[in-house]
Amino acid sequence: MRMGEFSRRTGVSQRLLRYYEEQGLLAPARRPSGYREYTEEDVTTVRGIRVLLAAGLNTATIAELLPCMVDDGGTLAPACSGMLPDLARERDRIDEAVAGLLAARARLDEIIDATVPEALAEPGTCHAAPVSSAP
């Protein structure tokens, strides 16, 4: 199948499919015309990529692990136990990131909790500009 149909089947944009190819995650065949030709196996590959991305892995790690994963149509799993240390390392990395975010939230809560109620604040003492939420 060509890229447009493949994109519709997988729910992944054509731009992202090209990125997966650049990262070595996907290797569609090429027609003589240069058009990419995708197979049902590529659909499974993209499903695996999406699962691993959702699990917090980056594309470099996925490129290493994906060839050693099996997809039974419902679950993605390591093909061998030798991958478990790599997966555990990634889980530990995510745990550290979560702990850091929780600590940051706790500090922010302390600041919020320490804020003087408006009724007690002296008029005209706060000259801060509103914080923009735009990226």
Per run of 10 residues, the mean pLDDT along the chain (length 135 residues) is 94 96 94 93 92 92 89 81 89 96 97 77 64 64
Angstrom distances, CA of residue 29 to CA of 1, 35, 125: 10, 8, 67
pTM above 0.75, yes or no: no
Total domains in the chain come to 2
Both 18 and 55 in one domain: the answer is: yes
Rounded Cα distance between 100 and 95, Å, is: 9
Does a structural domain hold residue 122?
Answer: no
In CATH, what number is assigned to the domain containing residue 69? 1.10.1660.10
Residue range(s) defining the domain that contains residue 104: 80-117
- At residue 72, φ and ψ (nearest 5 deg) are -90, 15
Rounded Cα distance between 50 and 43, Å, is: 11
Token pair of 17 as six digits: 């499919």
Both 29 and 94 in one domain: the answer is: no
